Structure 1
Amino acid sequence: MKILVCMKQVPDMESKFRINDQGSWYDESDLAWRMNEYDEYSVEQAILLKEQVGEGDLTVLSIGPKRIQETMKKALAMGCDRGVHVNDVKVHEKDPFEIASIIAEFAKDKNFDMIFTGMQSQDRGSGQVGVLVAEMLNLPCITTIVDFAFDNGTVNAKRELEGGVKAKVSAQAPVLVTCQLGLNSPRYPTLPNIMKAKKKELAVVEVGDLLTVESRLETPKISLPEKKSGGLILEGEVGDLVEQLVTLLKERTTVFA
């Protein structure tokens, strides 16, 4: 079985973010980087599937600058067989259609039986890449899965819907699934596996050698949310609250000006 899992490196969400000088993205200096949380579940599920079938070839793919290789090594230490780094220093400027096009171009002639992606990334959160890849490769797609089973070429999954409802969906491989939080418990790489990962293949492919796609979206500017003062809670009887509210509006606003 040939399996592909797509992974993204994102900044630690606890980091202090600053807008860059161009006002087009966040300043990437002094940030801690990690594997996208949703992708940890997709990597783990891909490894579990390979272990279940007893044989196979599991490739992890990631797009970005050279620094993403450190995060890819975690996926290799978890159990992926090889990595493919699509080198792209301007990945942050690409929209979901461009990212999906690059992945689809890589995968189109590889005959993967299963493709795993995270439901969305923590930094952009578009939730579009996996679905677009499936469409471009003409594959069935099951999104936001919280339960996964594979039996004799059939994928049986449960999707998380609004209100906590879970829908059962089945599809014949090859199929692409996008993974939701809680699908499984991602393993921690052991020291022996970390050492083994250093010897695993990590191929580098220049993004320009794969595909060049024009952007369909433009981000002219980004900004941090405006800081707002805390709200004021009024307590008491309704009549008293009305008087308090009117007094506050007169003193602090121009409603009665």
Structure 2
Amino acid sequence: MKILVCVKQVPDMESRFRPDGGGTWFEESDLAFRMNEYDEYAVEQAVQLKEQLGGEPEVTVLSIGPDRVNEAIKKALAMGCDRGVHIQDPAPQGKDPWQIASVIATFAGGEGFDLIFTGMQSQDRGSAQVGVLVAELLGFACATTLVGFAFADGVVTATRELEGGIKGVARLRLPAVVTCQLGLNIPRYPTLPNIMKAKKKEILGVAASGLLQEEPVAATARFYPPARKGGGVVLEGEVGSLVEQLYGILKEKTTVLR
């Protein structure tokens, strides 16, 4: 059995974001990066399955991006994955989800993976499309938004969180793709011995240009922060005085709007 986990390196959500010069992505010079939170659940579930099956399955972790994504790959290796694949692309943000899925599917199609784990969505784009598009391109069964996972006799039992907090259960025969979200598990912290072991594990580098087979179907024209608005007004005093002040402000604003 061969397992693939797809991870993405995203900006830390505590960073200060501002558009880059082209206005189509973030200025990255001041950003810190980390593994996408939803992908951590995917890595953990893949490693748990490997442990359940006696360590027999090989778990490969794949990430697309510039050299810095190796840090996310190394974290997944330290969590228990066996080998890494770095799809080298200096500007993956310029590709839409269809193209990203095409790159993954082209690589995966030649490797004979039985089960592919991805995060439900990325924290920077939030499209929630890549996992299902990979399944479509490969012709695999697919279940999304997993909050429960079980595997036995070649069948995945996926508990999914649906609209309104309703849970549904789907059963998929391999090969399959599943997308993971909060509530599925608690990702482990890499221990120091496993971090040291991860340094010796293989990370294969592959150029994205040799795998991309699809033209974009969508593009970001421009994004920008919302316009600054005026500050609020704090009213102080007795209740009667406050009512008079508020009435005066509302009357003034209404006159301006007319």
TM-score with structure 2 length normalisation?
Answer: 0.91
Q: Is the contact between residue 103 and residue 133 of structure 1 (CA under 8 Å) also seen in structure 2? A: yes
* Per-residue CA distance 1:139-170 (angstroms, 9 max, x = gap): 11000000000011011111001221111111
Shift of 1:30: 1.8
Segments of structure 2 that go 5 or more residues without pairing to the other structure are 236-241
In the alignment, the residues of structure 2 paired with residue 228 and residue 167 of structure 1 have an alpha-carbon distance, to the nearest angstrom, of 44
In the alignment, the residues of structure 1 paired with residue 67 and residue 120 of structure 2 have an alpha-carbon distance, to the nearest angstrom, of 24
In the alignment, the residues of structure 1 paired with residue 166 and residue 244 of structure 2 have an alpha-carbon distance, to the nearest angstrom, of 46
| Paired residues for 1:166-205 under 5 Å | 166-205=167-206
- 2:238 alignment partner in structure 1: none
In the alignment, the residues of structure 1 paired with residue 41 and residue 232 of structure 2 have an alpha-carbon distance, to the nearest angstrom, of 38
Q: Report the CA distance shift for 1:229/1:162 in structure 2 as closer, same or farther (over 3 A).
A: farther
In the alignment, the residues of structure 1 paired with residue 118 and residue 231 of structure 2 have an alpha-carbon distance, to the nearest angstrom, of 39
Shift of 1:244: 7.6
In the alignment, the residues of structure 2 paired with residue 12 and residue 220 of structure 1 have an alpha-carbon distance, to the nearest angstrom, of 24
> In structure 1, the residue corresponding to 2:171 is in which secondary structure?
strand
In the alignment, the residues of structure 2 paired with residue 244 and residue 98 of structure 1 have an alpha-carbon distance, to the nearest angstrom, of 57
Shift of 1:232: 7.8
- 2:108 alignment partner in structure 1: 107
In the alignment, the residues of structure 2 paired with residue 125 and residue 231 of structure 1 have an alpha-carbon distance, to the nearest angstrom, of 32
- 2:22 alignment partner in structure 1: 22
In the alignment, the residues of structure 1 paired with residue 168 and residue 230 of structure 2 have an alpha-carbon distance, to the nearest angstrom, of 42
Shift of 1:109: 2.2
In the alignment, the residues of structure 2 paired with residue 211 and residue 178 of structure 1 have an alpha-carbon distance, to the nearest angstrom, of 22
Shift of 1:210: 1.6
> In structure 2, the residue corresponding to 1:184 is in which secondary structure?
coil
Q: Is the contact between residue 114 and residue 176 of structure 1 (CA under 8 Å) also seen in structure 2? A: yes
In the alignment, the residues of structure 2 paired with residue 196 and residue 149 of structure 1 have an alpha-carbon distance, to the nearest angstrom, of 28
| Paired residues for 1:56-95 under 5 Å | 56-95=57-96
> In structure 1, the residue corresponding to 2:150 is in which secondary structure?
strand
In the alignment, the residues of structure 2 paired with residue 106 and residue 156 of structure 1 have an alpha-carbon distance, to the nearest angstrom, of 26
Q: Is the contact between residue 250 and residue 256 of structure 1 (CA under 8 Å) also seen in structure 2? A: no
Does residue 37 of the first structure (1) align with residue 37 of the second (2)?
Answer: yes
In the alignment, the residues of structure 2 paired with residue 67 and residue 115 of structure 1 have an alpha-carbon distance, to the nearest angstrom, of 23
Shift of 1:228: 3.8
Shift of 1:216: 1.1
Q: Is the contact between residue 105 and residue 137 of structure 2 (CA under 8 Å) also seen in structure 1? A: yes
In the alignment, the residues of structure 2 paired with residue 46 and residue 118 of structure 1 have an alpha-carbon distance, to the nearest angstrom, of 12
Q: Is the contact between residue 99 and residue 212 of structure 2 (CA under 8 Å) also seen in structure 1? A: no
TM-score with structure 1 length normalisation?
Answer: 0.92
In the alignment, the residues of structure 2 paired with residue 229 and residue 132 of structure 1 have an alpha-carbon distance, to the nearest angstrom, of 43
In the alignment, the residues of structure 1 paired with residue 109 and residue 233 of structure 2 have an alpha-carbon distance, to the nearest angstrom, of 57
- 1:225 alignment partner in structure 2: 226
Shift of 1:112: 1.0
Q: Is the contact between residue 145 and residue 161 of structure 2 (CA under 8 Å) also seen in structure 1? A: yes
Q: Report the CA distance shift for 1:189/1:252 in structure 2 as closer, same or farther (over 3 A).
A: same
